[in-house]
Amino acid sequence: MKAAKFFKEYEVKSYETDCHGFLRLITLMNILQDAADGSATSLGLGFDDCAAKGVAWVGSNYLLKIKRLPKMHEKFVVETWPAEAKLWGAIRDFILRDENGIELVRASSQWVLIDVARKRPVSLSKHIPGYEALNERALDVEFGKAPEFTESENEYVFKVRFDDIDINHHVNNAVYPLWAGESVSKEWRENHIPQEIMLWYQKEALYGEQVKILTHTDGMRTQHSITNEISGEELCRCEILWCSI
């Protein structure tokens, strides 16, 4: 494959906005996944291409830095590219710009290549020989372990819905930050929007499982530990830096 940047234009539909008229966070995450799929497919690395090899891309980390969320009926362009090759996967980065070319969002994501049958990480160079990356980053971040989660002021418990499940039969990556946002108060959400989001995916969540979110607030930053309530296993860690509207 020959590494290249991929561009796709979107327009914010009325049903994709929140109560403030901004693009919903889950829709933003889904758009990133859609652009990534378009880019991967154009490079011969899309879902069907990987399925033929018995492998799949699984997201392990995200960092989003939001300058401004687009509003209803606004058009914007997503630029994405394979940014860096790793032993077990790759880094994919994104930049969103409005119609005037003004930057809205920068994001970086880390993906692991897994053997679908064994559900184990596999070597990128062995299973996708010739993989190329542009070695250009949207954000200067190295994804490591999530910081320690030590305390919680409240917990939010619910069951995984059928509509939370994606084509891989587990909860889609876009759902976790939605869950984290639901665990803070209505009053907080009415007066704040996300400015920075960091995600560490740990383990897949499945339909019908009981999920618990523990939340700790430190000023304008909230930390969220999303766990399987029965087993106690952590599914995802999320940190959100908020700003006032």
Q: What is the pLDDT of residue 1?
A: 64
CATH number listed for the domain at residues 154-244 = 3.10.129.10
Burial of 110 (0-12, 13-18, 19+ CB in 10 A): buried
Tell me which DSSP letter residue 22 carries. Answer: B
Q: Structural domain boundaries of the chain?
A: 6-127, 154-244
Q: What is the pLDDT along the chain (245 residues), one digit of tens a residue?
A: 678 999 999 999 999 999 999 999 999 999 999 999 999 999 998 899 999 999 999 999 999 999 999 999 999 999 999 999 999 999 999 999 999 999 999 999 999 999 999 989 999 999 998 899 999 999 999 999 898 888 898 899 999 999 999 988 999 999 999 999 999 999 999 999 999 999 999 999 999 999 999 999 999 999 999 999 999 999 999 999 999 99
Alpha-carbon distance of 160 to 168, in angstroms, equals: 15
Fold classification of 6-127 (topology level): Thiol Ester Dehydrase; Chain A (3.10.129)
pTM comes to 0.94
